Amino acid sequence: MHQTILILDFGSQVTQLIARRIRELNVYCEIHPWNKAPELTEAIKRCCFLWSPYSVHQENAPLPDIAKYTGNVPVLGICYGAQLISHLKKGEVIRSTHREYGRAELVSIDHTSPLLHQIPLQSQVWMSHGDTILNAPENAEIICSTEDVTCAGYQLKDEKIYGLQFHPEVYHSVDGAQMLKNFVCGICGCDQDWTPLNYIDETVRQLQEKIGDDTVVMGLSGGVDSTVAAVLLQQAIGSRLHCIFVDNGLLRKNEFQLVLDSYKHLGLNVKGVDASQKFYDALKGLSEPEAKRKAIGRVFIEVFDDESKKEKDATWLGQGTIYPDVIESVSVSGGPSQTIKSHHNVGGLPDYMKLTVIEPLRLLFKDEVRRVGKALRIPADILGRHPFPGPGLGIRILGEVTPEKVRLLQEADYIWTSSLKANDLYDEVWQAGAILLPIQSVGVMGDERTYEQTIALRAVNSTDGMTADWSRLPHDFLAKVSNDIINKVKGVNRVVYDISSKPPATIEWE
């Protein structure tokens, strides 16, 4: 069993970011809600308390008994976690006179602390808190400060317990990765042995134990996640995996046949199903994003139910669900974090469907999925595909979805994606897509007035999809794409480029 870092979730949407940073160190970690934390085992090397939207002074604030952790394993409290430890250890935590949010500079660093080993004399960090630690516990010593925050970090004397008021897990904390490495590898002594190859071996073994001699029906999308999940299942159970690729009428141009052709080279047993009309019927009259997502998810389930019944021995439904899907749809492992939007492949199956969901990638981030796929020798052109939402173009058409709108968007998206590839920009962008806006505007073509649709182009750079920044693409390139779309896609007379980052926006518009 791998050495495990235990992360306690107090309700933050960004709890998973520290999990990614730890996994980047090739160390295994798990996130659990603070009120459902597992018992300590020999494998658990360290515990980490994280950020929360609560104040320690609120009546309903999470206040767990931390004694079972602080007396047995090294502990790092981050933001709320640091305030929590200080509060329970009789330090003084007060409301800040102003919310401390954004970049700050560490101007005082105690390099004798093992947590701050090899950290520069001045280091940029990221603050995001409403409470502040006025006085650390009596048996604590302050190990770093900023100009505005005296107690930016502390450690308890003669104990491996540390608190940081700032967030080392975010990229804005430029030396945060080194701090986490100091804690995970230095203070906790974790071996860096959690690698893609180890993950494959362990996952295949777990799948074999869980599935036994049963048969799995797997839904494929043509994307990275479902493909990697299918290959893992194939390695585990071989011919007892039956894959289904559904044409929901919301795919990109020519995608249905192109994807079926690509799977032939992987040796997967894949059946193509054209269910586009069922999806169009279900989406008729719907314009609200969540209603469309739920309708698409419902029809997916219905189609898989129909197809699975044709495989008489099927008892499992394989899905390519990954960690960000789970985070945004439901709280991590039952924790208290807020739901942002629903995903059609998260949340279980209806009672009438006699299949049990199995998700080989449920706790992996997108970059980890790609590393696992590379180790599985899945072709680069599949692994390098941009993420594409499960609901497809249904959530890139704002408002009601119709076959004509799908056709129009498919043409615009094809020009956009093809242009990125032709100009060697596709691999420079993490995800790109075209969005059909529910507005028309006046234009002029020749001597005639037009009143046609608007296309928004979206391109972002990211590592995991949890945060993203808009891609700074060359203006001449964008001008050429705009001109091509307007000239070649009848019904479009205006193209705009989305320069919103995530947060505050999301990558998809719906």
Among residues 47, 79, 144, 151, the one annotated as catalytic is: 79
* Closest by CA position to 56, among listed 75, 72, 77: 77
Return the DSSP state at 37. Answer: P
Rounded CA gap, 10 and 30, in Å?
A: 14
**Contact in structure between 99 and 147 (CB atoms under 8 Å):** no
Q: Is 386 a catalytic residue?
A: no
Q: Is 79 a catalytic residue?
A: yes
Rounded CA gap, 296 and 397, in Å?
A: 13
* Closest by CA position to 318, among listed 403, 203, 431: 203
Q: What is the phi-psi region of residue 392: left when phi exceeds 0, alpha when psi lies from -120 to 50, beta otherwise?
A: left
Rounded CA gap, 138 and 296, in Å?
A: 57
Among residues 169, 255, 452, 510, the one annotated as catalytic is: 169
Spacing of C-alpha 490 from chain mean position: 36
**Contact in structure between 197 and 298 (CB atoms under 8 Å):** no
Both tokens of residue 498?
């989305």
Instruction: Map tokens 């280091």 to a residue.
Output: 123
Rounded CA gap, 180 and 12, in Å?
A: 19
In this structure, which amino acid lies at residue 420?
L
Among residues 87, 129, 167, 343, the one annotated as catalytic is: 167
Whether residue 503 is preceded by a cis peptide bond, meaning omega within 30 degrees of 0, is yes
Whether residue 62 is preceded by a cis peptide bond, meaning omega within 30 degrees of 0, is no
Residue 460 CB coordination number (10 Å): 23
* Closest by CA position to 165, among listed 136, 201, 195, 194: 136
Residues noted as catalytic: 79, 167, 169
